[in-house]
Amino acid sequence: MATYEEIFRASTADPEGFWLRAAESIDWAVPPSRALDDSRPPFYRWFPDGELNICHNALDRHVDAGRGEQSALVYDSPVTGSQRTYTYSALRDEVAKFAGVLAGLGVAAGDRVVIYMPMVPEAAIAMLACARIGAVHSVVFGGFAPKELAVRIDDATPSVIVSASCGIEGKRVIEYKPLLEAAIELAAHKPGKRVVLQRPQAEAAMGPDDVDWAAAMADSEPAGCVTVKATDPLYILYTSGTTGKPKGVVRDTGGYAVALNWSMPNVYDVGAGETIFTGSDVGWVVGHSYIVYAPLLVGATSVLYEGKPVGTPDAGQYWRVVAEHGVKSLFTAPTAFRAIKKEDPKGELLAGYDLSSMKYLFLAGERLDPETHRWASDLLGIPVIDHWWQTETGWPIVANPAGIELLEIKPGSPTRPLPGWDVQVLDPSGAPVATGTDGAIVVKLPMPPGALPTLWNDDERFVSSYMAAFDGFYLTGDGGHLDDDGYVFVMGRTDDVINVAGHRLSTGGMEEVLAGHPDVAECAVIGVADPMKGQVPRGFVVLKAGVQREEDELRAELVQLVREQIGAVASLKDVAVVAGLPKTRSGKILRKTMRGIADGADEPVPSTIDDPAVLDALRPVLRRP
């Protein structure tokens, strides 16, 4: 058995050979003759002459290999009190039928389909059905408000939208159909049909453009797999950037299939017949990669869970899921564990569940604080593996490769770079910093298969956002350092992106909403540390001259505005009216300084500050717990 060091070295010494060998585990319609097309940097293309269908690789090939009766997807929904298991055969049949529905609605290879759904198996079925016919899906997280959905509809210009009548948040039923209607009303692009899954908790009124999921499935002619180029887009996943306009991260097909297929046994130590439970949402990259595609590519069983880790009915649900479904690897965000710890600090709910199947806990999506790491490790007595990646990268950049060998765990570090990822830390001039010194975390180009080839319809923004800061490097947007053993320490974002309960959000987007209020002259939103959600946004507004408002009333209006325009998931609950915002002499708001003070740091006053008195006046508000 090769060691991590040997495997990593092989990937850097001969990337071409390394990834072509990894590609042999995929069923290709036309096998790739070479790994990388690097003729047009920074636009790299993996497996340029390969052709395949990822749905065939995720479903049909396992059925063809005689494993059709094995569980593929387990839907576990404490919020509806239901469970359903799909074998590989059953899932393949459902996906083929829904692919037939889409084809019947005129969806062809290359067309986009927006999926706006709660955590129901039909969301995964819709994704795989798109992949089956070569259509490009774009899943929009159900917690986003109509305006956010509308922006994505206008950018992706889908021919069809797939949705559901409602989602369930704890004990609340959230009707999706009115949100969908509002989004279509706001969008300039008008999609053709909308397929709606009726759920008994709240059935939707159907209009002339609506197609009932169940009725359409009953009439459907199953569709086969359409072969696409490895470089064809599989999906677009929008993610937060610096402004309110989200970035449409494009995922290719062949590179992604190879990378995910490699990561399952080598990182998550999960193979055919074993079970992974990823507690996330299909609206995020973690859900795309490790609820849907990766587990199915390797013939494993994936648990799709509808609910929160706490609340309905209690904070022992993750343990119940592990015990009932024989989960080997549990993957979620640290915030889920902080939520469980808050409800059940002694882990008393663990008793009564047989957790012997669980070998690892994987955590990602935000910084794993050492305290939560320790609590989870002590409670479970298994390796707790922090790992770091992003929507853009599609799979982990830095991890402890449990399936190869378990490296020493250093709390605070997601461990070491995986094969293909040449992670470096640079200072603003582009020079590498010494170990232990913080700087911009970058990846030397080309990145390995699976990483984004570009942004949807926006090569220019791809270059300006990620490739322009340091020539020849991808800018991750995270800051941090390396240590002498090559461990990576990710300390936080260096831009206006924040992570709230593992959800990636843009403070810039929230500022745009607050600035749209008629009484607001200027504003700032910063992410501050929160014991449960990791970070939460705090807003600061300066009113227009002459405006007199009762502060509580105005705050309620502003909070509501952000809920309406971005969604409840923004979690902006705290907005303060202040006399002024600290700025540099050139007029730039000193958000980093504000953040530092709010987090309790002894933040030095920058020499570029315009008026130190403004900052002094703000200090008590920033320090308020």
Q: Interface residues with ligand AMP (CB under 6 A)?
A: 239, 284-285, 364-368, 386-388, 390-391, 414, 477-478, 490, 493, 499, 504
Torsion of CA 98, 103, 108, 110, to 10 degrees: -10
CB of 364 to ligand AMP, least distance (A): 4
Q: Is 87 in the site for ligand COA (CB under 6 A)?
A: no
Choice between 388 and 540, CB closer to ligand AMP: 388
Pairwise CA distance, residues 582 & 579, whole Å: 10
Choice between 98 and 268, CB closer to ligand AMP: 268
Residue 507 in tokens: 């403070």
Give yes or no for a contact between 331 and 268, defined as CB atoms under 8 angstroms apart.
yes
Torsion of CA 232, 233, 234, 238, to 10 degrees: 170
Q: Residue 104 — φ and ψ, nearest 5°? A: -65, -25
Q: Which of 310, 280, 309 has its CA nearest to residue 295?
A: 280
Residue 93 in tokens: 């049949």
Q: What DSSP designation does 44 have?
A: -
User: Which of the choices ligand AMP, ligand COA, none does residue 76 contact, using the CB cut-off of 5 to 8 A by kind?
Assistant: none
CB of 475 to ligand AMP, least distance (A): 11
Q: Is 139 in the site for ligand COA (CB under 6 A)?
A: no
Residues 146-205 binding ligand COA (CB under 6 A) are 167, 169, 174
Cα–Cα distance list, 215 to 86, 417, 488 (Å): 20, 48, 52
Rg of the chain on CA atoms, in Å: 24
Count of residues in the chain: 625
Give all strands of the β-sheet with 423-426 in edge-to-edge order: 423-426, 439-444, 473-482, 488-493
User: Which of the choices ligand AMP, ligand COA, none does residue 59 contact, using the CB cut-off of 5 to 8 A by kind?
Assistant: none
CB of 503 to ligand COA, least distance (A): 6
Q: Is 100 in the site for ligand COA (CB under 6 A)?
A: no
Choice between 199 and 308, CB closer to ligand COA: 308
Element (H, E) at 560: helix 551-565
Torsion of CA 79, 80, 83, 88, to 10 degrees: -90
User: Which of the choices ligand COA, ligand AMP, none does residue 390 contact, using the CB cut-off of 5 to 8 A by kind?
Assistant: ligand AMP
Q: Is 286 in the site for ligand COA (CB under 6 A)?
A: yes
User: Which of the choices ligand AMP, ligand COA, none does residue 239 contact, using the CB cut-off of 5 to 8 A by kind?
Assistant: ligand AMP
Query: What's the half-sphere exposure (Cβ side, CA atoms, 13 Å) at 22?
Result: 30
CB of 367 to ligand AMP, least distance (A): 4
CB of 246 to ligand AMP, least distance (A): 11
User: Which of the choices ligand COA, ligand AMP, none does residue 388 contact, using the CB cut-off of 5 to 8 A by kind?
Assistant: ligand AMP
Give yes or no for a contact between 121 and 162, defined as CB atoms under 8 angstroms apart.
no
Q: Is 534 in the site for ligand COA (CB under 6 A)?
A: no
Q: Is 122 in the site for ligand COA (CB under 6 A)?
A: no
Q: Is 332 in the site for ligand COA (CB under 6 A)?
A: yes
Q: Which of 65, 29, 50 has its CA nearest to residue 299?
A: 65
Residues 289-328 binding ligand COA (CB under 6 A) are 308-310
Q: Is 143 in the site for ligand COA (CB under 6 A)?
A: yes
Pairwise CA distance, residues 167 & 162, whole Å: 14
User: Which of the choices ligand COA, ligand AMP, none does residue 309 contact, using the CB cut-off of 5 to 8 A by kind?
Assistant: ligand COA
Binding site for ligand COA (CB under 6 A): 142-143, 167, 169, 174, 279-281, 284, 286, 308-310, 332-333, 335-336, 339, 365, 500-503, 533, 568-569, 571
